Amino acid sequence: MAKHDAAIERLLAHEEIGQLVARYAVATDARDLDALVALFVDDVRVGADQVGRAALRDFFDRSLRDVGVTILNVGTHVIEFDDADHARGVVYCRGEVQVGERWIVQAIQYRDVYERRDRHWYFVRRRHLLWYGRDVGTNPVGLPPAHWPANHTGWGELPEGWPSWSAFWGPDAPAH
């Protein structure tokens, strides 16, 4: 019975870590910085000399203001457990990023370290490695509204449909 319980615990841990990765992508795209930093351990290291979620929030605030819309689509995810409370992962991600009037597609790999604290899994560290970034042939910036499902092409309702996106940029921010 103990072996069965350990297998169930491992499956539950795998699922929770998978959701952690997915929540990172959604929170980043929505510019929900509170949700984003809550995915990390409370004593997360930020750079060489800063620690904590407040420092991480400041880092994300600065770095995400350098780009407009982001669409992170996570795919391949391999998780290796060191023990019941520590794991490592490799995550593949296809990112689409608005940089001014340019629309960039990126192939990304994240190398993660996870830790379970108080019965929940968190990121300890997330390392972003880039395979490439390139311009896409058709630029979605400036497209007329799609009004889906009436049209298959055009600008959709995201990211402006997220309340956190609007709060991040503020009422007087330029359209992205």
Question: What 8-state DSSP symbol labels residue 145?
Answer: B
In degrees and rounded to multiples of 5, residue 111 shows phi and psi of -115, 115
**3-class DSSP state of 35:** helix
Strand pairing report for 45-46 and 50-51:
antiparallel
Q: What pLDDT score does 137 carry?
A: 82
Each of the 176 residues of the chain gets a pLDDT tens digit; together they read: 588 888 999 999 999 999 999 999 999 999 999 999 999 999 999 999 999 999 999 999 999 999 999 999 999 999 999 999 999 999 999 999 999 998 999 999 999 999 999 999 999 999 999 988 988 887 777 878 877 677 666 778 788 888 998 899 887 665 55
pTM of the shown model: 0.87
**Residue 9, exposed/middle/buried by CB under 10 A (0-12, 13-18, 19+)?**
exposed
Q: What pLDDT score does 46 carry?
A: 97
Residues 54, 62: Cα–Cα separation, whole Å = 12
Pick the CATH number of 2-141 from 1.10.3720.10, 3.40.50.300, 3.10.450.50, 3.60.9.10: 3.10.450.50
